[in-house]
Amino acid sequence: MKIGFIGLGNMGAPMAANLARAGHKVSGFDMATVTVNGVSNARSAAEAATGADVVITMLPNGDILRAVAAEIIPAISQGAVLLDCSTVDVDSARSVAQDAEAAGLLPLDAPVSGGIGGASAGTLTFMVGGSVEAYQIALSLFEIMGQKSVHCGTSGNGQAAKICNNMILGVTMIATCEAFALADKLGLDRQAMFDVVSTSSGYSWSMNAYCPAPGIGPKSPADNGYTPGFAAELMLKDLRLSQQAAEASNADTPLGQAATELYRAFVEDEDGKGRDFSAMLPRFEGKRRS
C-alpha cells in the first residue's frame, strides 16, 4: 500500500519503520525534523496524505488531531482509510470520524497498548473503532505493527476501550503499591507477599507482569530506577480522559476519580514527572496515614 504517516515521534517513528520494512511505500511528516529508515519525508501533512491508500496519524491530543484532520481530509482520496492511532478523547475521535465520512473516507480510531518497546518490536495491541470494511482494509497493517487488534465497534469505541482499560490499570497499580507499602509496615517480606498475591485472588497484571517492587517478579521498570516504560504523566493523561468521558456520559467512577487525583498530585506536586507510573510504590513508602 501507499501509506501517509503523520506524527513520527517515539511511537510513530518505529511504527512507520516497521511498515516500510514490510514493503509498503511510506511517506511521513512530523513538525520536528525526523529521519526514519525507509520512510520518505513529506513537506507537509497534506503532502504525506495525498494519494495514500491509508493515512495514519499518531498525535498528542484531541485538539491537534482535529487541526491535522482539517488539513489532511481534503487531500485524501475518496475511499481511503484514515487510521488514527492517537490516544484522545472520545468526542474528538467521533468528530474527526464524522468529518472523514462526509468526505467519502473510511475512518478508524485505533489507540494502542504496548508502549515504545511494543512499537519498535511490532507487538502493539490495537483497540479499533469504525466500520468492518475499514477494519478489514487496515488489518494487514495492524498485523505488521502489532500482535493483536480488536474491533470494538463503531467510531470512538477504540478510544472508549483504551480509556476503560487504562482506568483499570491506574487503579490496580495504586492498589498494588499501597499493598506493598502496607506489607512493609506489617513486617511481611515482599517476596512472600508476591508469592501469595500472584497466585491468589489479588492476581493482576500490575502485580504479576509489571511488579512495582524492585527485584520481585519479572523484570520491570522498578528494576531500572523506575525509568519509564509507561510514564506517570501519560497515565495521568489517560485517567483524565477517562474522567472526561465519565462526566460526559454521567458514569459514576469514584475509584477512577481517586486514581486521577493521586496521579495528578504525584506528577504535578511531587516527583512523579519523568518516572514510571509504578513509582507510586516509593511514594507510598514515604507516606503516613493522614
Which entry of 162, 185, 237, 287 is annotated as an active-site residue?
Answer: 162
- Least Cα distance to 30 among 3, 6, 66, 4 occurs for 6
The answer to whether 113 and 209 are in contact (CB under 8 A) is: no
Strands 146-153 vs 112-113: parallel, antiparallel or unpaired: unpaired
The answer to whether 52 and 80 are in contact (CB under 8 A) is: yes
Q: How far apart (Å, rounded) are the C-alpha atoms in residues 128 and 141?
A: 13
Q: Tell me the residue length of the chain.
A: 290
Q: Which single residue is written with the C-alpha cell 485517567? A: 239
162 in active site: yes
Active site residue ranges: 162
